[in-house]
Amino acid sequence: MGGGQLGRMLSVAAAQLGYRCHIYAADANSVAAEVAAEFTCALDEDIGSLTRFAESCDVITFEFENVPVGPLHEIENCAPLHPPIAALDIAQNRVAEKNFARDHRGTTAPFAEVSDRPSLERAIAEIGAPAILKTIRMGYDGKGQSRIQPGDDLDQHWDAVGHQPCVAEGFVSFSHEFSVILVRAQDGEIRFWDTPHNRHEDGILAASVAPAPDPILQQQDAARDLAAQMAETMNYVGVLTCEFFATDDGPIFNEMAPRVHNSGHWTIEGAVTSQFENHIRAICGLPLGDTSLAAKRVEMHNLIGAQADDWQALLADDANHLHIYGKGVSRPGRKMGHVTKLYF
Ligand code: AMP
């Protein structure tokens, strides 16, 4: 379910294992459908179309954590669905997600819920500024966020998030950002990829590099333990990504994605088995593949907006592996492709 680049790369990995993918997406120009055997173009809420789709499938997965869970419950008995709906319930709500991490003894940024303008005032009085205001639901790639500096007019930030229920988060002073990417099989086996060091620009991932530098590696075990325990609790099957800030006080959990993740795109060429292939293996009940690094160092750079226009120059470098997602229209901030560079 879902028709973007993650669905596209999952379909390619599935095809390599001999599977035929059926994409379900609302966008007629789905870049996943272009590389899949079948395509249903319909809304998630169209229960008739969704049921017909589900009945045609042997296993169902999704590439987007904001799939509405109501319709998913309607098709629960048509075919196995992995990862579990419980993972979406948690990942779709920033407050539930932070509480879930805290329940597993993880550390999060200080936060306070904001439901209206007066509670924003109280939240900032409590956690202080700088802070980040994030909508509780439907936020990704820095969307639905507003950064608050000391002394700011809070009206302007409340308007910026569209008066939606929010969480106000204390600004974390971190040395690095990283993600734990794991895959959990149906028998409970968990494997981790090397931890990438992630660099964001304007709230959007710009680059991921593995192996990570020492300050991240020192926090890796604690972060992996937390991610693995959360996966166990959810009885999770598939790839799970948890994003962290590395700080002097250890890893601070930021958020989780119950799916393959942009910070794992480097695994296509940079690991023995990619996140996409292992996700397909996990949901199909197959043995997991080796997650080790396939080079001494791997770098993934996103091609955002017009950056993808330079693809001919990128191909001229022998170290580069180019991925263009086939999205027709380039817009500022839109992920159009990525390039992975291997060093041996
Ligand atoms: P998110 O949508 O929560 O992943 O936020 C996007 C990016 O904004 C993160 O990867 C960080 O670079 C930055 N960011 C988010 N929350 C915080 C925070 N509490 N403190 C500092 N930086 C943050």
Q: pTM of this prediction?
A: 0.95
Q: Which ligand 1 atom sits nearest the alpha carbon of residue 140? A: 2
Residue nearest to ligand 1 atom 11, measured at CA = 203
Which tens digits make up the pLDDT trace of 95-111?
A: 999 999 999 999 999 99
CB atoms within 10 A of CB 57: 18
Report residue 140's pLDDT band, with 50, 70 and 90 as the boundaries: low
**Average pLDDT for residues 182-186, to the nearest whole number?**
98
Report residue 329's pLDDT band, with 50, 70 and 90 as the boundaries: confident
Residue nearest to ligand 1 atom 14, measured at CA = 203
Mean pLDDT computed over every residue of the chain:
96
Q: Which ligand 1 atom sits nearest the alpha carbon of residue 94? A: 3
Which tens digits make up the pLDDT trace of 23-44?
A: 999 999 999 999 999 999 999 9
Residue nearest to ligand 1 atom 19, measured at CA = 171
| Per-residue b or e along 325-336, where b marks 16 or more CB atoms closer than 10 Å to that residue's CB | bebeeeeeebbb
Structural domains in the chain, sorted by start: 5-81 (3.40.50.20), 110-170 (3.30.1490.20), 176-343 (3.30.470.20)
Distances (CA, A) of 90 to 86, 128, 258: 6, 26, 9
Could you please report the per-residue DSSP string of 221-247? Answer: HHHHHHHHHHHHHTT--EEEEEEEEEE
Task: Quote the percentage of the chain above a pLDDT of 70.
Answer: 99
Which tens digits make up the pLDDT trace of 64-97?
A: 999 999 999 999 999 999 999 999 999 999 999 9
Which tens digits make up the pLDDT trace of 283-300?
A: 999 999 999 999 999 999
Give me ligand 1 centre to Cα 153, in Å: 21
Identify the residues whose C-beta falls under 6 Å from ligand 1: 109, 132, 139, 142, 169, 171-172, 177, 200, 203, 243, 254-255
Residue nearest to ligand 1 atom 7, measured at CA = 203
* Residue in 108, 132, 256 to alter for ligand 1 test, most ligand atoms within 8 A of Cβ: 132
Instruction: Copy the structure tokens of residue 148.
Output: 């608050």
Report residue 122's pLDDT band, with 50, 70 and 90 as the boundaries: very high
Residue 123: phi and psi, rounded to 5, are -65, -40
Give me ligand 1 centre to Cα 285, in Å: 35
Instruction: Copy the structure tokens of residue 114.
Output: 């904001």
**Average pLDDT for residues 136-161, to the nearest whole number?**
87
Residue 208 · residue 261 · CB < 8 Å: no
Residue nearest to ligand 1 atom 2, measured at CA = 142
Give me ligand 1 centre to Cα 83, in Å: 25
Contacts of 119 (CB under 8 A, 6+ apart): 112, 113
Give me ligand 1 centre to Cα 199, in Å: 11
Which tens digits make up the pLDDT trace of 222-281?
A: 999 999 999 999 999 999 999 999 999 999 999 999 999 999 999 999 999 999 999 999
Which tens digits make up the pLDDT trace of 310-320?
A: 899 999 999 99
Give me ligand 1 centre to Cα 283, in Å: 30
Give me ligand 1 centre to Cα 71, in Å: 30
